[in-house]
Structure 1
Amino acid sequence: MADGTGHARAALTKAGVEFDSRDAALFRAIDRTNSIAVAAEDLGRSRARALERIKSLEDAFGELVERQRGGQEGGGSHLTGTGRELLDRYDRLSAVLATTATVPETVLSGVVTAVEGEMAKVETDVGTLRGLHDGIPVGETVAVRIGADHVTVSEPTTAPEPGATSARNRLDGTVSTVEVGESVHTVHIDVDGVAFQALVTEESRRRLGLRNGQEVLILWKATGTWLVREHAPS
């Protein structure tokens, strides 16, 4: 959904892994300090957590940070060409999305079937979905709101396996329309008669060859779904 400013949330996705604002902040800090440890400390994070996150990103995007040990010029960490290109792509996408006044949403109705902490399962016309809630009990009818900036469009044959990604919501659909923008496009996807929307970059549109009638798989995280009561409690 939209971020705190009401604009779309920028993220680059590959193999089910997202490069988002927190990752961009880490990469900028590494570029500035030439040290993963110092960068993590500056951001209030642990070095171990930063290293773990970099490994996850590199498993999807390739080598992003070059780490050197000692030597005549001392050790240090530096962004690789791929890492710098990824950060530049993220910055360009952020600049484009900053001009987007509103983020399209898909809204459908459902009934909560299970609650575990802040997460809940809800049964809808397109199947069981998972999302965030704020104290909604089992049996409650809710509006399921899904921000288009959280939805990833993939080819069914190359999409990551369910266990290989944190995007637990997965649906098969058919592209009905591609609404072309300057750099970011809105893809309308029909899923069993329900119209979903997703934001994609021009790069993604070309890579996927998106066209009307194309079968696709859409994925998004439970944290990109918000469950809202359809009726205020009495």
Structure 2
Amino acid sequence: IKPKIGNRFPRMIETASGMLNAIGLENIGLERFVDEKLPYLEKFQARLIVNFFGDTIDEYVELANELSKLPRVDALEMNVSCPNVEKGGVRLSSDPVILKEVVESVRKVTKKTLIVKLSPNVKDITEVALAAEEGGADALSLINTFVGLKIDVELKKPWLANTTGGVSGPAIKPLALAMVYETVRSVKIPVIGIGGISSVQDALEFFIAGASAIQIGTANYIDPSITMKVIAGLFDYCKENNLKSLAELSSLNR
């Protein structure tokens, strides 16, 4: 709801086949998003999915309620999985009982499509996935980043000011694929695959694993046009393999 300054610097560094970050959910807050960002985004003919985060159940509910009043917003993505904030993020994402309670509370105030973004830093990803589904989620997105650490050997201390951060990029793709594969077979709602996607082949692996859609994050730092390239490559793949849609791939291993 309110603007958040995020974590102290340094808070991002490249790692082997990926990145370690501890941004801390820095953002301009709901009021400025509605006044400044939304009018700009309305210029584009694209689906608008808003990722939101609260420090308390009440804040999650208030944000969902306010965002649901915006006709231009097509769907909401609840971030219950940030590994580098001080309040609540880890506990919420790893406790099925609390997670279900929060999702149920949000579900009561919105008719928008509700996506719940899950953390990989849990004992059993399917357990929290089922809790989110039972709470009323329309879809799941996974995974967020793994908790990681990098040491500055010259200063002899953690490189990030926050000590730990979230590991993303190609290094986590096999782990992400495994969790998507497991989750797809445990829930009845769609799963959006995330984790180390940086090529058409990466994207295809997630669809064949059962994902209904994908997200691309870290690869954008290397190539800001990567999303459009992957989309074009997926169209070509479907044409070459006589597929009417990617849903045909997603259903192969369900």
User: Considering the TM-score relative to the shorter chain, is it more than 0.5?
Assistant: no
- Greater relative contact order: 1 or 2 (C-alpha under 8 angstroms, separation 6 or more)? 1
TM range (shorter): under 0.3
TM-score by length of 2: 0.24
**Structure with greater strand percent:** 1
Structure with larger Rg: 1
